[in-house]
Amino acid sequence: MKKNTLKNIAGLTLIEILIGVVISSIMMAAMYTTYSVVNNSYGQVTDRAKISRSGRDIVEMLMRDIRMAGFKYMLGTNNLGFSTRSYLEFKGGHTSLSESHDPIIIVKSELGYTRADLGTDPTPPPKHNAADLCCDKIHIVYDDFNQNDEEQPYKRYKITYFAAPADYYPDGEIDFEDPRYAVYKTLESWKQVIGSDGVPNETGSWIDDCTECYKAQKIRDHVVDMEFIAFNHEGRIINPNDARPDNADADRRAKIYDTRAVDVRLTFRSKNEFFRFAPSTSKPRLVKGLSDRTIEFLDKYLRDSVVVTIHTRNIGEGI
């Protein structure tokens, strides 16, 4: 009786167990592979979205500020005793482009902002690679009005967008092992004595007691390049950098005050490596510029550009 009971007990052989383990392993591997593919795809889509969002956010800021370039406040007839319109003059700086308060100044392929009052050396920070074309910077100047300030009701603001090594501010040191740049923004205020001609370093000066102003504020990381190209009323490319302080006034006005639009290209890099394989030296990945500015890369990061044309509606002769 006991022997017959033992013979009827069912079980798994070692071979059957091994087969089950193999099948389970195959299923787990397939599930992991599917998860990895989906996760990588999600990560790539997220990286692309972040790059696109970074570009759009800065473009919106640039669009708002460039459209304000050259704006002069018109108060009109009033009972407050203020001038009916802004008395501030748009004149070039006598010492450097950084001190100029022309409506728009574009400086090509130069990092940083060279005003000594940033608390750093007045020379631009070095690039990670001396042959690197990054990045253009742009100075934007416009007027505003504050009726609560009886001594200086008309205000002048200067905004500068520039790039620098991501860890350059505020300590001023550069980590060359981490070759990435960031976009910075500086807002300054111009104070001009009423009745003066508004020439910097003479009767007027940049002031530091502006409560709403800020210096070298980082607004976006992982920037690859910023490019600005100005156009005149005929759609021809002009170089506002030709409006140096030592140029004749007529030549300066012909360049600066004929700026009708600015083409903007912003290129950002993904935070993490995007591609599985790095390109070969014979076929590098390229980032095209608006002109002949092309940059080659041999790493695995994704780069994407945003290009937009912004019209300058407040700049023109006689304004």
Q: Give SS3 for 217.
A: strand
Yes or no: say if 124 and 160 are a contact pair by the CB < 8 Å rule. no
The HSE-up count of residue 308 (CA atoms within 13 Å, CB side) is 18
Q: On the CB side of 114, how many CA atoms lie within 13 Å of its CA?
A: 15
Beta strands 285-288 and 294-297 are antiparallel
Instruction: Quote the distance between the C-alpha of residue 120 and its chain's center.
Output: 20
pLDDT at residue 65, rounded to an integer: 93
Q: Is there a contact between 137 and 104 (Cβ–Cβ < 8 Å)?
A: no
Distance (Å, rounded) from C-alpha 183 to C-alpha 136?
11
Q: Report in angstroms the alpha-carbon separations of 4 from 10, 12, 13.
A: 13, 19, 20
Q: Which long-range contacts (CB under 8 A, 24 or more apart) does 37-44 make?
A: 43/272, 44/274, 44/302
Residue 259 lies in a domain: yes
Is 12 part of a structural domain of the chain? no
pLDDT of residue 228: 93
Structural domain containing residue 115: 20-311
Count of domains forming the chain = 1
In a domain, 114, yes or no: yes
Radius of gyration over alpha carbons of the chain, in Å?
Answer: 29
Is 1 inside any structural domain? no
- pLDDT tens string, the chain, 319 residues long: the values are 555 555 565 667 778 788 888 888 888 888 887 777 776 666 666 766 776 777 788 889 999 999 999 888 777 777 777 777 776 665 555 445 556 677 888 888 888 886 654 555 557 788 888 788 888 989 898 888 877 777 777 788 889 999 988 877 766 677 667 778 999 999 988 666 665 555 544 444 555 567 788 888 888 888 889 999 998 888 888 876 554 444 445 555 556 677 889 999 999 888 888 777 888 888 888 888 887 788 888 888 888 888 899 998 888 654 4
The answer to the question of residue 289 being in a domain is: yes
Q: Is residue 15 part of a domain?
A: no
According to DSSP, residue 276 is labeled: S
Is residue 25 assigned to a domain? Answer: yes
Bond from prior residue into 170 cis (ω within 30 degrees of 0):
yes
Burial letters 286-304, b for 16+ CB under 10 A, else e: ebebeeebebeeeeebbbb
Q: Rounded CA gap, 230 and 310, in Å?
A: 10
Number of Cβ atoms within 10 Å of the Cβ of 251: 12
List the one residue out of 89, 103, 92 whose CA is nearest residue 246. Answer: 92
Dihedrals phi, psi of 47, to nearest 5 degrees: -60, -45
Interatomic CA distance for residues 124 and 4, integer angstroms? 94
Map residue 304 onto helix, strand or coil. Answer: strand
Q: Are 186 and 87 in contact (CB under 8 A)?
A: no
Residue 229 lies in a domain: yes
The reported pTM is 0.77
Q: Cβ neighbours of residue 233 under 8 Å, at least 6 residues apart?
A: 258, 260
